[in-house]
């Protein structure tokens, strides 16, 4: 068994499958619509991963920055068609210039959930510093009230499938739940029989927690939608989709 507790996205073969498994749908449409509605000329995609959405945000007259701490994700992103339209930065939000010049910062695919409580305040402050006054931040996060982790059992998630990198058996297994922090192992077995295990730690936060953190980081006008077409979040909305403006 090979185990990683560092970068859960460091397996080149699994990263090659990421966009097939996460092709984007109403979530990507929402972020593109937001950028277009704002006529954003400068966009940051924090936790850009393979950059599928990031590249689709690029247009003539608009600069797009993709930031991600995973070298494997970023290496994949840099090799995709259209990647030359994006500036790629390896790192977290502290890699962003605090020049108050960006119109919009997004953090998609629940990437914000990878950021622990010790790092979230600094992350939001870095985003605020990179945005112009009145600039917008938007991200989504799973609603803790829906307790998604309860479905991440080996029995409920076990799957066998053909993939472009070979037959794959995969399943999830939650190993620890402490308050808002959920730790789970993603098991991946290709035909060589090795079980590659990648451990993720996700933080489930409430709307109120996000509102407090955003306020402390200097954001205002916070809204929280419960779906990609708008409408306020309900108690059981699976996702919390947040927008806020830099004060």
Contact between 182 and ligand SAM by CB under 6 A: the answer reads no
Q: Contact between 88 and ligand SAM (CB under 6 A)?
A: no
Asked whether position 185 contacts ligand SAM by CB under 6 A, the answer is no
Q: Considering only residues 14, 109, 207, 241, which one is a binding residue for ligand SAM as defined by CB under 6 A?
A: 109
CA 78 to chain CA centroid, nearest Å: 17
Residue span binding ligand SAM (CB under 6 A) among the ranges 79-87, 102-110, 137-145, 221-229: 102-110
Q: Would you count residue 70 as binding ligand SAM (CB under 6 A)?
A: yes
Residue 172 near residue 179, CB atoms below 8 Å: no
Candidate list 30, 57, 58, 69; residue touching ligand SAM; CB under 6 A: 69
Residue from 43, 58, 104, 115 binding ligand SAM (CB under 6 A) = 115
Applying CB under 6 A, the span of 103-111, 124-132, 205-213, 234-242 interacting with ligand SAM comes to 103-111
Percentage helix, strand, coil, to 5, in the chain? 30, 35, 35
Q: Which is nearer to ligand SAM, 79 or 134 (CB)?
A: 79
Q: Is 87 left (phi over 0), alpha (psi -120 to 50) or beta?
A: beta
Please report whether residue 66 would count as binding ligand SAM according to CB under 6 A: no
| Residue from 47, 135, 144, 226 binding ligand SAM (CB under 6 A) | 47
The interface with ligand SAM within residues 4-43 (CB under 6 A) comprises 9, 22
| 3-state secondary structure (DSSP) of residue 179 | coil
Pick the closer one to ligand SAM by CB: 70 or 143: 70
Spell 150-162 as b/e; 16+ CB within 10 A means b.
eebeeeebeeeee
How far, in whole angstroms, is CA 228 from its chain's centroid?
Answer: 15
- Angstrom CA distances, 62 to 53, 85, 195, 198, stand at 15, 9, 43, 36
Give the orientation angle of helix 207-216 with respect to helix 120-130, to 10 degrees.
60
Of 46, 124, 186, 233, the one binding ligand SAM by CB under 6 A: 46
CA 164 to chain centroid: 24
* Interaction residues for ligand SAM, span 186-205 (CB under 6 A): none
């Amino acid at each position: 068994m090979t185990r990683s507790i560092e970068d859960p996205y460091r397996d080149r073969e699994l990263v090659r499958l990421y966009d097939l498994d996460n092709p984007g749908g109403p979530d990507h449409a929402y972020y593109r619509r937001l950028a277009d509605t704002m006529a954003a000329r400068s966009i940051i995609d924090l936790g850009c991963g393979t950059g599928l959405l990031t590249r689709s945000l690029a247009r003539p007259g608009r600069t797009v920055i993709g930031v991600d701490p995973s070298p494997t994700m970023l290496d994949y992103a840099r090799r995709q068609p259209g990647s030359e339209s994006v500036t790629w930065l390896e790192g977290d939000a502290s890699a962003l210039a605090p020049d108050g010049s960006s119109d919009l910062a997004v953090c998609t695919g629940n990437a914000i959930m990878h950021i622990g409580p010790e790092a979230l305040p600094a992350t939001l402050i870095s985003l605020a510093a990179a945005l112009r006054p009145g600039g917008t931040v938007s991200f989504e996060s799973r609603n803790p009230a829906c307790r998604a982790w309860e479905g991440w059992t080996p029995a409920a998630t076990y799957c066998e499938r053909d993939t472009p990198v070979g037959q794959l058996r995969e399943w999830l297994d939650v190993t620890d739940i402490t308050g808002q922090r959920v730790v789970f192992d993603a098991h991946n077995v290709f035909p060589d029989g090795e079980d590659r295990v990648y451990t993720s730690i996700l933080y489930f936060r409430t709307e109120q927690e996000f509102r407090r953190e955003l306020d402390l980081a200097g954001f205002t006008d916070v809204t929280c939608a419960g779906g990609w077409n708008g409408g306020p979040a309900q108690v059981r909305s699976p996702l919390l989709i947040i927008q806020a403006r830099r004060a």
